[in-house]
Structure 1
Amino acid sequence: MDGLKLRNVGKTDLQLSALGLGCWQFSNGRGLIGGYWSSIAERGVSEIVKTTLDGGINWFDTAEIYGRGGSERTLANALSRLAVATDRVVIATKWWPLGRRAASIAQTFPERVKCLSPYPIALHQIHQPFSLASIPSQMREMARLYEQGLIRAVGVSNFSAAQMRVAYKALAGYGIPLASNQVKYSLLDRRIERNGVLDTARELGISIIAYSPLEQGILTGAFHRAPERLRTLRGARKLQVTAKRIETSRMLIDRLEEIAKKHDATASQVSLHALVTLHEEAVFAIPGASSVQQAQENAGALHLSLSDDERREIQEMSLRVSDNG
């Protein structure tokens, strides 16, 4: 598979590259969620965005909760500084539901538009299944945005198989397909293959968007090569990237690096390419990038050409070491 073509998201006409850029790290270190990452200078963000686009990635995923709109504004500012045409990029963002009712979707949408201006919102997503409102009422509000031509597609995030079915059925009542479910998924975390999420998504024609596809950096091999990096981690990331997980994943990382060497690539590129080709075109992924080098590596994953035997071996080894619980 020499170069991954654009794919339709679910049953929509929205065409995206198999990889997008996750923009959580553009939060400027603001807020409880945004503070997970250190701030990146304006020039650095622009360079990351330019490298991403030049590498063939055509979409960016952000969210209201990332720095309380900070990530959205930072992304839009970078695109504007680069004079990127509005029809050259696709923007996905998310409504934060915690403690809110469905009416909040319409009430907060103008702020999303303002933060991302002049770039339109193509894919609008429910960030978590934690709203005070029912899923059908949330889908009703999303349908109104769609019918007004304010968005091109509706998605959800972190929804279970059952919750996804409810959202799908509710949207279908308006003649609108549920485009996607954004969930945690990687070669080291394949729980959606066990809990019905992936099977349900494929049955209903809903795309999976994988976040944390590199497991917070574990699948890059950086911590295996330099375990002392573990001491530099902060916050919640320390709970996810542990010495135990580094050791249990070593066998997979070693093989990813061997395969990568044959293709003049990196372990992270092989990992990303394998993930978005495991299930034909059902899975997209949104790795982040805090540097130009990481952005180059992400985009390079689109252009690998792994053999069927290599993909099969990665699949089998991944299943042996992944979190399936």
Structure 2
Amino acid sequence: MKKVKLKGTKIEITPIGIGVMQFSWGQRMFKMMGSGDVNEDTRNGIIKAAFAGGVNWFDTAEAYSSSEKYLASALKANGIKDKDVIIADKWMPMARTATHLKKSIEKRLTALDGFTIDIHQIHAPISFSSIKAQMNTMADLVESEKIRSIGVSNFSKNQMIKAHEALEERGLQLVSNQVKYSLLHRRIEKNGVLDAAKELGIKIISYSPLHQGVLTGCYHNNPDLKKNVSFMKRKMYPNVEKQVRRTETLMQAIKEIATKHNVKASQVSLNWLINYSKDTVVAIPGASKINHVVENVSAMTFELTKNEIAELDELSRPLNRMK
């Protein structure tokens, strides 16, 4: 399976990883969102299917309740060793200073039960401390071998550059910026984040790459599914009905391309994402069902043609108010 190298490190990851926030579904916070329980057998099956499909990395976070612990347990249940997997974790900086990073890291490592934090990310630019202070503390963690590399999440262009420059002073590379990015959410192409990432060798990790299921075509194929979207999800991801209506032309093109390649619409959407900006963008679709993982990881088994990539680019631009 093809892998992309994180600049300044020996770490190589597949173009698609798996986000495991869903591993905490069923716990109180996630029940409020109307999410069903992802039980132990399902978690183990998700990891098994991901590895069978060639995926070598998983994204979790301190903020995702017991997700770290459940990920470690599922990896062990499948006989997967630390040397064979890449784990991306995140520190939640809300109402905290950079000094908390060193206190938090031991809890993160305990939860991961022997697995290394290969990429440690600042979950959002909301710490009480400056970006430079956070990066210096992260650099200390690398130097003390608590983590292997440093990333950020939800950082703007200028915030990302500040983080990069602070690490550069320590002889380290900012390896990633995890942001929302999909055919229906191309803001990073307009606000300078993507261009700056390309210039500085920073990988973009795309979360919500299927736009909460809209780009799978499930709501287009079965409109009744929209009735099952929970109240909390409607608040967090509004206008599902509107998104379906406005994407009819794009989804029809995605389906036609999928038929040509004998794949699913979700796989076409993911393949566009990882091939439109070659080697700069990787994606972490989430999965609460094993068949979702099988579909998602199979997006790495084919490649859209240049014309197909251009067609989807052109059709999605008006939906993103792009020229």
Same-fold call, TM cutoff 0.5: yes
Among 116, 136, 145, the alignment partner of 1:140 is 136
Amino acid at match of 2:23: F
What residue identity is the alignment partner of 1:113?
L
Structure 2 residue aligned with 1:114: 110
Q: Which residue of 2 aligns with 1:14?
A: 11
C-alpha distance in 2 between matches for 1:139 and 1:148: 14
**Counterparts of 2:206 and 2:12, CA distance in 1:** 16
The equivalent residue for 1:24 is 21
- Aligned 1:114-193 pairs, distance under 5 A: 114-193=110-189
Matched, 1:218 2:214: yes
Which stretch of the first structure deviates more once superposed, 91-100 or 226-235?
226-235
Are the equivalent residues in 2 in contact too, given 1:190–1:323 (CA < 8 A)? no
The one-letter amino acid of 1:316's match is: E
Amino acid at match of 2:289: S
My pick for the range that moved more, 226-235 or 141-150, is 226-235
The Cα of 1:31 is off from its aligned counterpart by 5.1
Q: Indicate whether 1:84 and 2:80 are aligned.
A: yes
Structure 1's unaligned 5+ residue stretches are none
- Unaligned runs of at least 5 residues, structure 2: none
For residues 281 and 322 of structure 1, the distance between their equivalents in structure 2, rounded to whole angstroms, comes to 23
Asked if the contact 1:252–1:321 (Cα under 8 Å) also holds between the matched residues in 2, the reply is: no
CA distance, structure 2, for counterparts of residue 280 and residue 256 of structure 1: 20
Native 8 Å contact 1:18 1:283 kept in 2: yes
CA distance in 1, matches of 2:180, 2:98: 24
Q: Write the deviation string for residues 267-308 of structure 1: whole angstroms up to 9, x where unpaired.
A: 100000110111111001000111111000011000012211
Are the equivalent residues in 2 in contact too, given 1:123–1:154 (CA < 8 A)? Answer: yes
Q: Measured at CA, do residues 218 and 153 of structure 1 come closer, stay the same or move farther in structure 2, by a change above 3 Å?
A: same
CA distance in 1: counterparts of 2:137 and 2:322, whole angstroms: 35
Counterpart in the other structure of 2:227: 231
The residue that corresponds to 1:304 in the other structure is 302
Once superposed, what is the RMSD of the aligned Cα atoms? 1.5
- Corresponding letter in the other structure for 1:292: I
Tell me the distance in 2 between the aligned counterparts of 1:128 and 1:235.
25
DSSP 3-state at the match of 1:94:
strand
Question: Is this contact kept in 1: 2:8–2:172, CA < 8 A?
Answer: no
Return 21-30 or 292-301, whichever deviates more: 21-30
Aligned position for 2:202: 206
Alpha carbons 2:61, 2:68 under 8 Å: kept: yes
Does residue 319 (structure 1) correspond to residue 317 (structure 2)? The answer is yes
Deviation at 1:35, TM superposition (A): 4.9
Give the number of aligned pairs: 320
Counterpart code for 1:191: R
> 1:20-79, CA deviations, whole angstroms, 9 ceiling, x for partnerless residues?
001111113335468543220100110011000100110000000002xx0111111111
TM-score w.r.t. length of structure 1? 0.95
Partner AA of 2:119 in structure 1: L
Task: Write out per-residue CA displacement over residues 142-192 of structure 1, whole angstroms, 9 at most, x where no aligned residue.
Answer: 001101122111000000001011111111111000000000000000000
Matched residue type, 1:208: I
Corresponding residue number in structure 2 for 1:56: 54
**C-alpha contact (below 8 Å) 1:25/1:38 kept by paired residues:** no
